Amino acid sequence: MGAWPTPQRAPPMPLAANPTDPTLIYDGECGICQQAVARLRRWDREHVLRFLPFQDAVAVTRFGIALPALAAAMHLVLPDGRVYPGADAIPELLRLFPGKRWLAPLFWIPGVLPLARRIYARIAIRRHCLVRGIPGR
């Protein structure tokens, strides 16, 4: 317990992709997702993270992640090819931002990551009907 899950690996990116940038693939038509990305952009003062809506089919194909998986959850792809879907991406995202790194170890507490996964899954399934007045589908 407390160990990080073993993430899947994305296939090697073509030379056109910048292998030094972590990339967050998200639902660009989801209001909740757009709000989360706006918050992450504010936290990303050093501009270390690339944001890519999964609706950009040409750009997303180079990561080799199935479209249904991308539609179900955000995916953080790190430069070394590790892929963290959904709630598993949260501690990795926190590590990218100097002012938020201290929060990442909280996910090592037994039960925190499984709980975060359940909460994420419940929100992800209902994300298009949960928020009214926020642009999205």
Domain boundary assignment for the chain: 20-130
Q: What is the pLDDT at residue 126?
A: 79
Q: Which residues contact 134 (CB under 8 A, 6 or more apart)?
A: 31, 32, 34, 35
Residue 84 pairs in a beta bridge with 76
Alpha-carbon span 126 to 73, nearest angstrom: 12
Question: Mean pLDDT throughout 107-135?
Answer: 81
Q: What is the pLDDT at residue 117?
A: 97
Question: Mean pLDDT throughout 107-119?
Answer: 97
**Among 1.10.1060, 3.30.1360, 3.40.30, 2.60.40, what is the CATH number of 20-130?**
3.40.30
